[in-house]
Chain A
Amino acid sequence: MNDDTIALRAEGLYKVFGRHADEAVIALHRGTPRDELGAATTAAVIDASFEVRHGEIFVVMGLSGSGKSTLIRMLNGLHGATAGTVEVGGERLTDISPKRLREIRRRRISMVFQHFALLPHRTVIDNVAYGLEIQGVERDERIARARRVTEIVGLQGWEEKHPSELSGGMQQRVGLARALAADTDVLLMDEAFSALDPLIRREMQDQLLELQAELGKTIIFITHDLNEAMYIGDRIAVMRDGRIVQIGSPEDILTNPANDYVEQFVQDVDRTKVLTAESVMRKPRAVVHVGAGPRAALTLMRDEQVAGAYVVSKDRSIVGWVRDRDVFDLVRRGVKDLSSVIQSDHGAVATDTALADLFIPSLEAALPLGVLDSRDRLVGVIPRVTLLAALGGEPEAAVQAAPRPDPMPTAEVDQVLEAAVGAGAAEPKEAL
């Protein structure tokens, strides 16, 4: 990966508390489990390596005691690393002088805290300006800049209040504004929304995503809430017992869990919000080219045993769909052109549509729901069974799912029933 695109790189990070830390690192490196290190030694972070790209939201997810809080504090040197290196914007942050470390914290990396960590004896605006004050920005200038950020997070009119006069959500906005005002490239967020009410939390998550899209900061976000991780994370690192067990996109983690632990973990996730059309779609079975004649289309539908097919143009962009009956008529009448029976209400969805938003379109579509890429090309379809299977956590099951058996033609059934009555084979009515 190109170095310019990396905002932060951690390599072989270890944090061991207690005595004999260095020996513990060597032992851990050799594969000794962390419970066998002895009572006086605690390995909080073991061999953590990852890279965070510019403008990415990288989420570190784990339960309490998994070492995630220690890990994030190593990224700005609040905890020194026992072994390993951290680089922020190409500058090493481990094993440097305290003066140099303060310099890097001022310019490159700021932090938002779980319990806000505002200075209670200062007003909102002075809290927001704190980072700038440390950077040595002159007072009028820093107040002006702090006011701009205060407005961005929606706290205009509250500048001269004290933190204790604000609700939890608003206090965390101040915390966020303080970190944004420092104007560093990298933002560390330590369980930043965990102390908030669920409704406020969702609002803050949305706001964070909005700000991220607007300002393009690199964000490293710690959480124990998998739904939160899945919602805001571009990539997620799952931690357990001090080790990173998997790094991947939310869909990756959900669909290809690295081990039983991750699998168990993701069981409770609301899949419909994380999985997208792209991750569950199948190859379309019958696609008719718009230039193909009705006979070719009908042959294809017969071979594939389908009652209808999507029609695409030369570059595979969608035109509409046709029903087998209409094409059948065309063939009977000897019409050579399909276009008269193509229906344009295909109802196809985009690849990044969340599963939750697929149900209604799927019900409304006559064919398996079509999936289009950004250039309107038909890249896949989602039969309803696939949607159900994905919901159950077994997207693969859909492949084997047999189509529901069609009822026998009514005429034949009537014939057989009548024949049976004629033969006098009486049946007790109750059996019906």
Chain B
Amino acid sequence: MDIRIPVGTWIADFFDWVEVAFGWFFEPLRSLFLGLYDAVAWVFGTPPALVVIALVAVGALLARGWRFAIGSALGLLFIVGVDQWDNAVASLSLVLVAAFLAIAAAVPLGIWAARNDRVSKTLKPILDFLQTLPAFVYLPPALALLRIGVAPAVIATFIFAIAPGVRLTELGIRGVDKEVVEAGQAFGAHPRRILRQIQLPLAMPSIMAGVNQVIMLSLSMVVIAAMVGAPGLGQDVVQSISALNVGLGFEAGLSVVVLAILLDRFTASFGKGMGLYSTWRRRRLAQREADEQARFDAEILEVGGPRRSPGGLGG
């Protein structure tokens, strides 16, 4: 007997139903994605390439230091040199929009999962599913709902990239020293306040690692997104396959690598205390604390009894 489980039909029917029931929802969504994309593309695409490169180099200097500044300038000049600048701007815009949306969704979800075991247990298999299903599979329904162009690429990238953001946020918040959270509770702090003043600051390294992962996964979708008509470096890669154009493929591919390194190093440096900006900030903070301490020491406190000294405790 020939038994076949008609999963395909069910899912197709499901998406048909979604299209009918929520069609009103997808048109504004498409406009939103396109609007965001155009805005980012305008920011990076309007000024001459060299101006953008100079600005990126300055940003790199502030974030990580002069070595990274020189490296990023050279990398971007390479992209201009192989005539992939416009494609790179398009890809970068797509990645930034999708990653921004994914992070905006992932962090709150991660916080929710960290605070509620049931949510955590429900989200876990869903995230596993999203992460392991081949990325190409998202494309047809995205195409059906959002039509060809940037919008389906954004949604497919979003779905593909969201998982590590949620996971690392949850992990970070759950990893915050339980006693410190208890301290917040014991002094009567509201849970929102504990989240803002204790959990989020202490979970920040893990959350930033999640942000980094989301951006890197978004970038890895650049080529796949090209298949649903998203502009950018992916277009040339796809074209090089059909035309067996080795040179074009590598030029576009290497440009992706440059973007990847740039984005990775930029996001990895957040909160790590590297670069000029962190140095300035540290110096300013230390100065303020020293001033404050000097003010404290100068004032005489009207506390009775001899002054106790913490001496002998080791510093």
Q: Which residue of B lies closest to A116 (CB)?
A: B179
* A50 surroundings in chain B (CB, below 8 A): none
Contacts A111-B186, A159-B292, A182-B187: A154 and B179 contacting too (C-beta < 8 A)? no
Tell me how many residue pairs across A and B have CB atoms closer than 8 Å. Answer: 103
Asked if B202 is an interface residue, CB under 8 A from chain A, the answer is: yes
**Docked complex: B200-237 residues within 8 A CB-CB of A:** 201-202
Asked if residues B310 and A160 are in contact (CB atoms below 8 Å), the reply is: no
Identify which of A78, A103, A120, A135 contacts B182 (C-beta below 8 A).
Answer: A78
Identify which of A76, A119, A166 contacts B197 (C-beta below 8 A).
Answer: A119
Q: Which 8 A-B pairs have the closest CB atoms?
A: A106-B188, A154-B308, A105-B188, A160-B289, A117-B179, A117-B183, A111-B186, A160-B293
Contacts A113-B182, A114-B179, A156-B307: A121 and B188 contacting too (C-beta < 8 A)? no
- C-alpha gap A412/B297 in the complex (Å): 82
* B184 surroundings in chain A (CB, below 8 A): 134
Asked if A248 is an interface residue, CB under 8 A from chain B, the answer is: no
* A159 surroundings in chain B (CB, below 8 A): 292-293, 296
- C-alpha gap A426/B292 in the complex (Å): 97
Asked if A271 is an interface residue, CB under 8 A from chain B, the answer is: no
Residues of B within 8 A of A (CB-CB), count: 32
Q: How far in angstroms is the closest Cβ of chain B from A194?
A: 13
**Docked complex: A83-120 residues within 8 A CB-CB of B:** 102-107, 109-111, 113-120
Q: How far in angstroms is the closest Cβ of chain A from B83?
A: 47
Asked if residues A105 and B293 are in contact (CB atoms below 8 Å), the reply is: no
- C-alpha gap A109/B187 in the complex (Å): 8
* B5 surroundings in chain A (CB, below 8 A): none
Asked if residues B188 and A103 are in contact (CB atoms below 8 Å), the reply is: yes
* B177 surroundings in chain A (CB, below 8 A): 115, 117
Identify which of B193, B202, B296, B310 contacts A173 (C-beta below 8 A).
Answer: B310
Asked if residues B179 and A78 are in contact (CB atoms below 8 Å), the reply is: no
- C-alpha gap A113/B179 in the complex (Å): 7
Binding site for A on B (CB under 8 A): 177, 179-180, 182-190, 193, 197-198, 201-202, 289-290, 292-293, 296-297, 301, 303, 307-310, 313-315
Asked if residues B292 and A110 are in contact (CB atoms below 8 Å), the reply is: no
Q: Which residue of A lies closest to B302 (CB)?
A: A148
Identify which of B187, B201, B309, B310 contacts A110 (C-beta below 8 A).
Answer: B187
Identify which of A120, A123, A151, A169 contacts B303 (C-beta below 8 A).
Answer: A151
- C-alpha gap A78/B181 in the complex (Å): 11
Identify which of B183, B190, B202, B292 contacts A102 (C-beta below 8 A).
Answer: B190
Identify which of B202, B292, B293 contacts A120 (C-beta below 8 A).
Answer: B202
Contacts A157-B297, A170-B310: A152 and B303 contacting too (C-beta < 8 A)? yes
* B301 surroundings in chain A (CB, below 8 A): 147-148, 151, 156
Q: Is the interface of B mostly helix, strand, loop or mixed?
A: helix
- C-alpha gap A105/B296 in the complex (Å): 30
* B179 surroundings in chain A (CB, below 8 A): 113-117
Other A-B contacts than A102-B189, A159-B293, 16 sampled, CB-CB below 8 A, are: A78-B182, A105-B185, A105-B187, A109-B186, A117-B177, A117-B182, A119-B197, A121-B201, A130-B187, A134-B193, A151-B308, A156-B301, A157-B293, A160-B292, A160-B296, A167-B313
* A111 surroundings in chain B (CB, below 8 A): 182-183, 186-187
Asked if residues B189 and A134 are in contact (CB atoms below 8 Å), the reply is: yes
Q: List 26 A-B contacts (CB under 8 A).
A: A103-B188, A105-B185, A105-B186, A110-B187, A113-B183, A115-B177, A117-B177, A117-B180, A117-B183, A118-B180, A118-B183, A125-B296, A131-B188, A134-B189, A134-B193, A135-B188, A151-B303, A151-B307, A154-B310, A160-B293, A167-B313, A169-B313, A170-B313, A173-B310, A182-B187, A188-B186
Identify which of B182, B187, B292 contacts A131 (C-beta below 8 A).
Answer: B187
Asked if residues B186 and A76 are in contact (CB atoms below 8 Å), the reply is: yes
Q: How far in angstroms is the closest Cβ of chain B from A149?
A: 9
Q: Which residue of B lies closest to A159 (CB)?
A: B296
* A121 surroundings in chain B (CB, below 8 A): 201-202
